A and B are shown apart, each in its own frame.
Chain A
Amino acid sequence: MNEESRWRSLALDLLTLAVLALVLLPIIWVFIASIRPDADIMTRSLIPTRITFDHFANIFSRGDFLVALRNSLLVGGIVAVCTVLIAVPAAYSLSRFTYLGRDFIGFLILATQMLPAVAVLVPIVVIIRSLGMANTLTALTFTHLALGLPIAVWMLKGYIDAVPRELEEASIIDGSSQLGAMFRITLPLIRPAVVAVGTFAFVLSWGEFILALALITSAEVKTLPLALQTLFDPYSFSWGVVMAGGVVIAAPTILLFLLFRNQLVGGLTAGGIKG
């Protein structure tokens, strides 16, 4: 690399950092506001006078927020486990077998991913209410299952496709059944992808808003996005506390992002997960 192009590259790197900071500013701002005292926020000063964790202490001392945290953990956890339990066999079936209707089934699963939640909101709400299941975490869990499942199936199918069949065949010759070979050979090899799709499913459920808004009204079954809305009481609220709540909701997303960046990019290009 000659002298001139090295300077050019450095300049473009600096420009990249500046543009990145500008694009991510609204997100960075949430984090900064969550650790600044309210007095700082009110004066609109850009330089923080001190760092405080009072806002976090404040929300974690609120009963309603803790209940919502528990609900979100519960729903997200069950959704993650069920997504894996349903998606792994489905992906294995679509990848390893040829059978009548396979392509149609694959298309059907992918098509549900393309369908925006808003499009089926009305019938889902009417059905769940007529089943008497509004305001239950069960209903929310079941609808959230649809959020990440299609992309989980398609991602896992890609990973299973990449595992050589010969490995399974060797195991079958040694006397194990097809399913035995799946458990013993293929699953351990795709374990990172399984963990990734489980985490995706958790995060999608954790931040999901419209289904929770439409299905849940009572305080004891609210999830975190709804609890954040409650924190934002128009007559008395602290921006610091609301932003701290935002950080709590954002945290697993950022963690997921740092841990599974490559799988996430793979998943995005495979079909585009809903934001």
Chain B
Amino acid sequence: MTARATDTEPRPFGDIALPYALVAPAVLVALAIAVVPLLYALWLSFQDWYLLRNPTPVWGGLINYEALFADAGLWRAFWRTWIWTIGTVAVEIALALPLALLLNRDTAIARMASALILLPWVMPFIVLGYGWRFLLDSEVGALHGFLQAFGLAGNSSILNDPNMALAIIIFISGWKGMPFMVLALLAALKSIPGELYEAAAIDGATPWQRFTTITLPAIQNTMLIIGLVLGILAFYSFDLPWIMTRGGPQEATTVLGISMYKAVFTDLRPAYAAAISVVMLAILAVASFLSLKLRRRQ
């Protein structure tokens, strides 16, 4: 909804300035927290600044970007981040689709459940991260005991196993993000006219046929757009892998967010970390552009 113009007569200056004055504090916060830091990161990424060697930044040209392309560990983190992102979104869809279909009924239980399902999304990472660590703990963890009974875990927690840690944290990441997808899919499902299903039932379509010819086409755009939004969030993950494993064991769960954090706080190379941020932002810009185009097409 857009506001109507109040009048067409010329207004006194006070009236013209008023809307700007009202919105100014919000714009200042946006500038201070987003725009200025982004420009500063760009400038920083061209500096030569390694706290152990030179305590003040000097112009370094492309030095950080050259180092970044030569950094084998960072390349591994880069590809791992794509696995992480695609894996997280895949888990989100795999969990959300059956849940949304199950919750798309008008009973009191279904309504209550579609509200409570939001809890993983709204709960702080720190609580969920420690909760899952507790479940997976090799000495006291209930889930660890369960996995052990099926021969899926040894005596040590699977979070210590480089081959398993990434998969399990991707699953947890997808579990946390899933409610947002459920919510979007429920909205899309509710907008499908019931007559379509009735007509299909008269034509003798099987449930599977109804799903593939009516339900899926009606929700696939939502799935794609929300998948992109969730993918962008996943690409920037830091909290969950940090709280669960600090990027380990070895570097099995080191995604780019963790590489960047370690570049500043462990290696004391803020300019290099800024260059990583810039590369991540460039990828984000492409993804946002894509999602915008998709929204327009819809």
Chain A residues, CB < 8 A from B295: none
- Residue on A nearest B42 in the bound complex, by CB: A123
Q: Establish whether residues A90 and B25, one from each chain, have CB atoms under 8 Å apart when the complex forms.
A: yes
Please indicate the chain A residues that have their CB under 8 angstroms from the CB of B180 in the complex: 268, 272, 275
With beta carbons under 8 angstroms apart, the residue of A27, A127, A208 that contacts B120 is: A27
Do A23 and B102 touch (CB < 8 A)? Answer: no
User: Which stretch from A59-67, A111-119, A184-192 is at the chain B interface?
Assistant: A111-119
- Return the chain B residue nearest A153 by Cβ: B26
Q: Are A239 and B119 in contact (CB under 8 A)?
A: no
Contacts of A153 in B (CB 8 A): 26
Determine whether the beta carbon of A243 is less than 8 Å from that of B131: yes
Residues of A15-35 whose CB lies within 8 A of B: 15-17, 19-20, 23-24, 26-27, 29-30, 33
From A26, A243, A249, name the one whose CB has the most chain B CB atoms within 10 angstroms.
A26
Give complex CA distance A27, B117 in Å: 11
CA gap between A117 and B281 in the complex, in Å: 11
Contacts of B236 in A (CB 8 A): 116-119
A56 on the B face (CB < 8 A): no
Q: Which of A93, A125, A142 has the most CB of B within 10 A?
A: A93
Question: Does B27 contact A105, Cβ atoms closer than 8 Å?
Answer: yes
A218 CB–B CB distance under 8 Å: no
Which residues 199-217 in A have Cβ within 8 Å of B in the complex? 203, 206-210, 213-214
B273: interface (CB < 8 Å):
yes
> Would you give the shortest CB distance from B114 to chain A, in whole angstroms?
9
Contact, CB under 8 Å: B137 / A17: no
Residue contact B118 to A269, C-beta cutoff 8 Å: no
Partner of B117, one of A20, A116, A149: A20
Whether B124 and A90, one on each chain, are in contact in the complex, defined by CB atoms closer than 8 angstroms, is no
Per-position binary interface string of chain A over residues 228-241, scored 1 when its CB falls under 8 Å from any chain B CB and 0 otherwise: 11001000000100
**Which residues of chain A are near B232, meaning CB under 8 Å?**
114, 116
B253 smallest CB distance to A (angstroms): 15
Q: Which of A108, A142, A207, A261 contacts B125 (CB 8 A)?
A: A207
Cβ of A50 within 8 Å of any chain B Cβ, yes or no, is no
Q: Which residue of B lies closest to A146 (CB)?
A: B33
**B126 touches A (CB below 8 Å):** yes
What string of 1s and 0s marks CB contacts (under 8 Å) between B170-189 and chain A? 00000111001001100100
| Given A23-B117, A33-B134, A121-B261, CB of A44 within 8 Å of CB of B233 | no
Please tell me if the beta carbons of B119 and A27 are within 8 angstroms of each other in the complex: yes
Contact with A along B270-288 (1 / 0, CB 8 A): 1001100100110010001
Q: With A and B bound together, what is the CA distance between A239 and B131 in angstroms?
A: 10
Enumerate chain A residues within 8 angstroms of B110, measured Cβ to Cβ: 12-13, 16
Q: Is A99 an interface residue (CB 8 A)?
A: yes
Contact B134 A239 (CB under 8 A): yes
B183 contact from A206, A257, A268, Cβ within 8 A: A268
CB of A149 within 8 A of CB of B26, answer yes
Question: Which of A97, A162, A253 has its CB near the most chain B CB atoms (within 10 A)?
Answer: A97
A126 in contact with B127 given A86-B26, A146-B34 (CB within 8 Å): no
Q: A118-B236, A122-B264 are in contact. Are A209 and B128 (CB under 8 A)?
A: no
Instruction: Give B80 Cβ to nearest chain A Cβ, in Å.
Output: 15
B30 within 8 A of A: yes
The reply to whether A19 and B99 form a contact with Cβ atoms under 8 Å apart is yes
Known: A27-B128, A122-B277, A239-B140. A13 touches B107 (CB 8 A): yes
* A203 neighbours in B (Cβ, 8 Å): 122
Partner of B29, one of A102, A145, A275: A145
Q: Do B126 and A209 touch across chains, with their CB atoms under 8 A apart?
A: yes
Q: For the complex, give the distance between the alpha carbons of A117 and B257 in Å.
A: 10
Distance between B27 CB and nearest chain A CB, rounded to angstroms: 6
Instruction: Please measure, in the bound complex, the distance between the C-alpha atom of A179 and the C-alpha atom of B15, giving whole angstroms.
Output: 11
Tell me, in angstroms, the Cα distance from A243 to B133 when the chains sit together.
11
A116-B233, A121-B277, A123-B274 known; A214-B131 Cβ under 8 A: no
Residue among B2, B105, B145 making CB contact with A44, cutoff 8 Å:
B145
- In the docked arrangement, what's the CA distance between A120 and B41, Å? 8
A20 to B177, CA, bound (A): 15
Interfacial chain A residues near B103, Cβ < 8 Å? 16
Known A-B contacts A122-B44, A126-B44; the reply to A214 vs B281 at CB < 8 A is no
Extra 15 A-B pairs, beta carbons < 8 Å, given A116-B284, A123-B38, A265-B183:
A15-B102, A27-B127, A29-B135, A44-B141, A99-B16, A125-B270, A126-B270, A209-B125, A209-B126, A209-B243, A249-B124, A249-B126, A250-B124, A253-B122, A265-B118
Interface residues of B (CB under 8 A from A): 1-6, 15-16, 18-20, 22-23, 25-27, 29-30, 32-38, 40-41, 44, 95, 99, 102-103, 105, 107, 109-110, 113, 115-128, 130-132, 134-135, 137, 139-142, 145, 175-177, 180, 183-184, 187, 229, 232-233, 236-239, 242-243, 257, 260-261, 264-265, 270, 273-274, 277, 280-281, 284, 288
Q: Which 7 A-B pairs give the minimum distances between C-beta atoms? A: A207-B124, A90-B26, A116-B236, A97-B19, A146-B33, A93-B22, A123-B37
